[in-house]
Amino acid sequence: MTLWDLTQGTSATVSAFAASIEAGYRTRLSELGFHPGESISCVMAPSLGAPKLYRVNNTVYSLDDSIASMIEVA
Amino acid sequence: MSTPSTPPSQPASLPRSNVALIGSPNSGKSLLFNRLTGLNQKVANFPGITVDISAGKSLIDNSTEYLDFPGVYSLHTISGEEKLAVEAFYKAMDADHLDAVICVVDATRLEKGLIFALQVVEACRRYNKPLLIAANMTDVLEQHKMQLDTQGLADALKVPVLPISGKTGFGLENIPSAIASAKAPTEAYGIAGDIIASDDSLIHRQAQQLANKYGPKGDLLINAQTKLDSFFLHSWFGGLSFFVIMYLLFQSIFTWAAPVMDGVETIIQVTADFVLARVPEGMASDFIADALFGGIGAFLVFVPQIFVLTLVVGMLEDSGYLARAAVICHKPLRVFGLTGKSFIPMLSSVACAIPGIYAARTVDSPRKRWLTYLAIPLMPCSARLPVYTLLIAAFIPAQKALGGLIGWQGLAMFGIYVFGIVCALLVTAVVSRSNAELRSDLPFVLEMPPYRLPSWRPLLRNAWNRSKHFVTKAGKIIFIVTVVIWFLGYFPNQGASLGDSWLGTMGQWIEPVFAPFGLDWKYGVAILTSFLAREVFVGTLGTLFGIEGAEENFVSLSQQIQDSGLPIGSGVALLVFFAIALQCVSTLAVLAKETGSWRLPTQLFISYSIFAYVAAFLTFHLVEFLV
């Protein structure tokens, strides 16, 4: 399951990054809080495939399917 | 919380002269910088809006100069823009240009700020630079009765932590003394060794521990933000509110500015009458009437619209809504090869292409940024507004339909705005599809800033500066052009016959170029001069009709165009021409500066000129065929 599969109001823990994700971006995502072991909740999942809103601690980020589907969650 | 919390046993030190402000995007750093220096740097509630290093003398202590570095999430960088900012920061530290560093963190989102602050603590330790951590937005904490233990945090980090609010000005008076007594960190926090190069999960864990221990507790702020998001990003209400907000934005430009525009027009008219009554008839009075009031007065009328537009766009940025608009627009813009992040530069370009080009730096993917550059010159900027208003007033009847609900002139204005936007999107769609490389993208990750009530003072100041800039920068060009045009049009026969003047003779040479859309030489000259800046068109035409008709004010210009018997097809063709052509020297120069070469601006200038000409030609024939 990936972060993109989370529905509004659900949470999951990051387990890994897809191998195809660029190293620089993996570091950045980690710095933003998306790193293995961190609990992420999907606070908004607008319809029509718009980017979803994910909460990490006290900050909310918007991620589109291209990146959210590269973050594996459990 | 009014005094700085310094770690114990820190003796006082020398005053600092060059102080860097550094922080992650959206930490309120630019607003703080504006407060400290009184400078008018653009402040916006959108991640990454500060894109240049600004410097300003302190208002409190004028021996200090603050340097505002662009917001970065980390001292490890991935995007080109961040890399430049971090390199500039290290370079300034290395070259001993900095005497101290202030790291600004958003106290309401302490963990995120601390991830960056821990890296800055380490960088300052390495370069032996005194560091002060400014915990910003304490007004929000106070408002929600939340606490930040600045003393505890300062003790843990061994760096002074000062609670401040860039918005209310709370604690700012303590900054000079806090910097003066700050020392370079001597110990790395938490771990021995290099925290910047270390595993990012470690720094994250440390920031989390510190934030949990000393930071504000509870979800109040984030819950309020989520509640508003669930409205503004709702499948139905979100789309609806987006359209309502955009509608209000355009409405504000035309309705709110109208009374002020009328006021400016009246002032120009009264002044013209007053001055002309006191100047004896002859060359001097012709010059004052045609070149000064006819040419320059014509464009001054539009300054209120530029003011209102800049104010409203700034308000939307400041409120945090634009980041939501970027989310809403991401999917639709992707169809046209762009990204949601292109929305901000494109919307800014509705005010002026120049801030739009600068704002495009926030588009982290270089390919998408390049595509955004293609779209920007086609966005309906405020310099086109005088031309549109003039032509619409001349050609579209001021009647209303559907019981007064729809005004034809308003509809025409809306139509020409939409036309510009559609052209921009079509160009990016075609170009992105013609090149496979342009289709790939950096992923879309955008921080959602908290919703905030806009700070009026910086917004008003910014709108005022933009209008002033418009008057002084464009005004200079318009003044020179109108004087030259007047001179060429007035001589050698003292205004007796415009057609026989030097300008008339020159105009006949270029007449064949614009004849295919039914325009005579006067329009040809006005179009040629408008390649300097679009609004020059109105000034030039005002001067030309002024010489010809001995009219002294702008009000009659649209009437004069009407009376000149110009066909409606030519009017619509002119609208289309102005919607597409890249007639702005400043836009070309800024594009060249931003892209590092004249290649893109030259390509755009040539291709948009040809596109504009062909589209105007087709429009003229289509309208003439239909009418």
d(CA B387, CA B578): 8
Nearest chain B residue to A25, by CA: B78
- Do B232 and B245 form a contact (C-beta atoms < 8 A)? no
Contact list, A36 vs chain B (CB under 8 Å): 201
Q: Do B444 and A37 touch (CB under 8 A)?
A: no
* Burial of B520 per CB tally in 10 Å (0-12, 13-18, 19+): middle
Question: What pLDDT was estimated at residue B547?
Answer: 66
Q: Do A30 and B76 touch (CB under 8 A)?
A: no
Mapped onto helix, strand or coil, the DSSP state of residue B514 is helix
Q: Which of B203, B233, B237, B240 to mutate against chain A (most A CBs within 10 Å)?
A: B233
CA distance B222 to chain A (A): 6
d(CA B538, CA B545): 10
pLDDT band at B458 (very low <50, low <70, confident <90, very high): confident
Q: Do A53 and B229 touch (CB under 8 A)?
A: yes
Strand partners of residue B163? B135
More confident residue, B85 or A11: A11
Mapped onto helix, strand or coil, the DSSP state of residue B443 is coil
The ipTM of this complex is: 0.94
The tokens describing B92, both together, are: 């300034």
B394-426 b/e with 16+ CB inside 10 Å = b? bbbeeeeeeeeeebebbebbbebbebbbebbbe
Give kind and range of the element (H or E) at residue B559. Answer: helix B557-563
The verdict on B330 touching A (C-beta cutoff 8 Å) is yes
Mean pLDDT of the B245-254 span: 77
Mean pLDDT of the B419-436 span: 91
Q: Which of A8, A17, A28, A39 to mutate against chain B (most B CBs within 10 Å)?
A: A28
Q: Among B174-183, B473-482, B558-567, name the one with the lowest average pLDDT.
A: B473-482
Mapped onto helix, strand or coil, the DSSP state of residue B134 is strand
User: Hey, which residues 182-221 in chain B have their CB within 8 Å of chain A?
Assistant: 200-201, 203-204, 208, 211, 219, 221
d(CA B77, CA B72): 8
Contact list, B226 vs chain A (CB under 8 Å): 43-44, 55, 60
d(CA B611, CA B321): 35
Mean pLDDT of the A2-16 span: 93
d(CA B377, CA B319): 26
Q: Do A59 and B331 touch (CB under 8 A)?
A: no
d(CA B573, CA B577): 6
Sheet with B18-23, edge to edge strand ranges: B54-57, B65-68, B18-23, B100-106, B131-136, B161-163
Question: What pLDDT was estimated at residue B291?
Answer: 75
Q: Is the pLDDT of residue B184 over 70?
A: yes
The tokens describing B76, both together, are: 């490890």
Is the omega angle on the peptide bond into residue B332 within 30 degrees of 0, that is, cis?
no
Question: What pLDDT was estimated at residue B14?
Answer: 41
Q: Is the pLDDT of residue B550 over 60?
A: no
By a Cβ cutoff of 8 Å, what residues of chain A touch chain B?
Answer: 24-25, 27-33, 35-38, 43-44, 46-51, 53, 55, 57-64, 66-67, 70
Mapped onto helix, strand or coil, the DSSP state of residue B191 is coil
Question: What pLDDT was estimated at residue B552?
Answer: 45
The CATH architecture of the domain made up of A3-73 is Roll (2.30)
Q: Do A50 and B330 touch (CB under 8 A)?
A: yes
CA distance B577 to chain A (A): 35
Structural domains in chain B, CATH included, are: 18-218 (3.40.50.300)
pLDDT band at B97 (very low <50, low <70, confident <90, very high): confident
Strand partners of residue B22? B103
A57: region left, alpha or beta (phi > 0 left; psi from -120 to 50 alpha): left
A48: region left, alpha or beta (phi > 0 left; psi from -120 to 50 alpha): left
The verdict on B444 touching A (C-beta cutoff 8 Å) is yes
Nearest chain A residue to B238, by CA: A46
d(CA B427, CA B423): 6
Alpha carbon B473 to its chain's center: 16
Q: Among A23-27, B419-423, B607-611, name the one with the lowest average pLDDT.
A: A23-27
Q: Can you spell out the DSSP letters for B76-133?
A: S--SHHHHHHHHHHHHHHHTT--SEEEEEEEGGGHHHHHHHHHHHHHHHHHHT--EEE
pLDDT, tens digit, 9 for 90 and up, residues B17-29: 889 999 988 888 8
Closest CB to B201 among A35, A48, A61:
A35
Question: What pLDDT was estimated at residue B474?
Answer: 66
Q: Do A46 and B222 touch (CB under 8 A)?
A: no
Nearest chain B residue to A60, by CA: B448
CA distance B201 to chain A (A): 7
User: Hey, which residues 533-572 in chain B have their CB within 8 Å of chain A?
Assistant: none
Give me the total of CB pairs closer than 8 Å, taking one residue from chain A and one from chain B. Answer: 124
Question: What pLDDT was estimated at residue B15?
Answer: 44
DSSP conformational letter for B14: P
B81-117 b/e with 16+ CB inside 10 Å = b? bbebbbebbeebbeeeebbbbbbbbbbbbbbbbbbbb
Q: Do B445 and A67 touch (CB under 8 A)?
A: yes
Closest CB to B222 among A29, A51, A58:
A58
Q: Can you spell out the DSSP letters for B328-383?
A: HHHHHHHHTT--GGGHHHHHHHHH-HHHHHHHGGG--SHHHHHHHHHHGGGS--TT
- Do B197 and B58 form a contact (C-beta atoms < 8 A)? no
Contact list, B76 vs chain A (CB under 8 Å): 27-28, 31
Q: Do B112 and A24 touch (CB under 8 A)?
A: no
CA distance A24 to chain B (A): 6
pLDDT band at B197 (very low <50, low <70, confident <90, very high): low
CA distance A38 to chain B (A): 10
Question: What percent of chain B is helix, strand and coil (3-state, nearest 5)?
Answer: 65, 5, 30
pLDDT band at B194 (very low <50, low <70, confident <90, very high): low
Question: What pLDDT was estimated at residue B600?
Answer: 94
The verdict on B111 touching A (C-beta cutoff 8 Å) is yes
Contact list, A47 vs chain B (CB under 8 Å): 235
Across chain B, mean pLDDT equals: 82
CA distance B29 to chain A (A): 17
d(CA B71, CA B52): 10
pLDDT, tens digit, 9 for 90 and up, residues B68-85: 888 888 887 666 667 778
Q: Which residue has the tokens 């930040």?
A: B148
DSSP conformational letter for B255: I
Mapped onto helix, strand or coil, the DSSP state of residue B217 is coil
CA distance A11 to chain B (A): 15
Give the max Cα distance, chain A.
Answer: 30
Mean pLDDT of the A2-15 span: 93
* Burial of B439 per CB tally in 10 Å (0-12, 13-18, 19+): exposed
The verdict on B620 touching A (C-beta cutoff 8 Å) is no
Q: Is the pLDDT of residue B394 over 80?
A: yes
Q: Is the pLDDT of residue B401 over 80?
A: no
> Where do the domains of chain A lie?
3-73
Q: Is the pLDDT of residue B9 over 70?
A: no
Angle at B509 between CA B505 and CA B512, to 5 degrees: 135
Q: State which of B90-104, B119-133, B495-509 shows the largest mean pLDDT.
A: B119-133
Q: Do B444 and A51 touch (CB under 8 A)?
A: yes
d(CA B443, CA A20): 12
Q: Do A44 and B233 touch (CB under 8 A)?
A: yes
Closest CB to A53 among B108, B233, B444:
B233
